[in-house]
Amino acid sequence: MRRDYFTLDVDATGPKPVATVEFDGPAGLLDERLTDESGAPLDADGVDISYRLREPMADDANGVLALSDRYTGEFRFEVDATAVDVRALVSAARECEDDEDGQFRFVVRRSDGDTALEIDVDTLLVYDENGGLLRRHSLVSSGVEL
């Protein structure tokens, strides 16, 4: 799926930070990408969210935020994102006291405003431009060994 169908908005100010992805491409295409093989909607246990930088980490660095299948590694979609937005999301999630349901909310909305996916997430792995894990910039839930 094309990245230009997606835009990312991060709200790090509320009690639980929210990353909202707006989709303005073909509706059927999004629905297909957000369901599993049986046609059931994806859930937080079945997906991973990661961020890959395209250049060295800096305030004005750009990268790609990806939603992928946890079991197959298949990318469901990718969206262009700035390092500033991702760092704000990770920082706010670390401070979130409501870690019972995840440290941030990840929402995907269709162009008509309907919510296609809404999950609570407790891990966001950040990688440098060479694919190396940037652990100090990542959000890693307790109990996860890397």
* Cβ neighbours of 86 (radius 10 Å): 24
Read off the pLDDT of each residue in 22-36 and give the average, rounded to a whole number: 90
Query: Pick from 44, 40, 61, 65: which is nearest to 122 by CA?
Result: 44
Tens of pLDDT, residues 43-57: 999 999 999 999 998
For residues 51 and 67, the answer to whether their CB atoms sit within 8 Å is: no
Determine which of 20-29, 37-46, 99-108 has the lowest per-residue pLDDT on average: 99-108
pLDDT tens-digit map of 61-86: 999 999 999 988 999 999 999 999 99
> Do the beta carbons of residue 121 and residue 44 sit within 8 Å?
yes
User: Residue 144 pLDDT more than 80?
Assistant: no
Does the pLDDT of residue 99 top 80, yes or no?
Answer: no
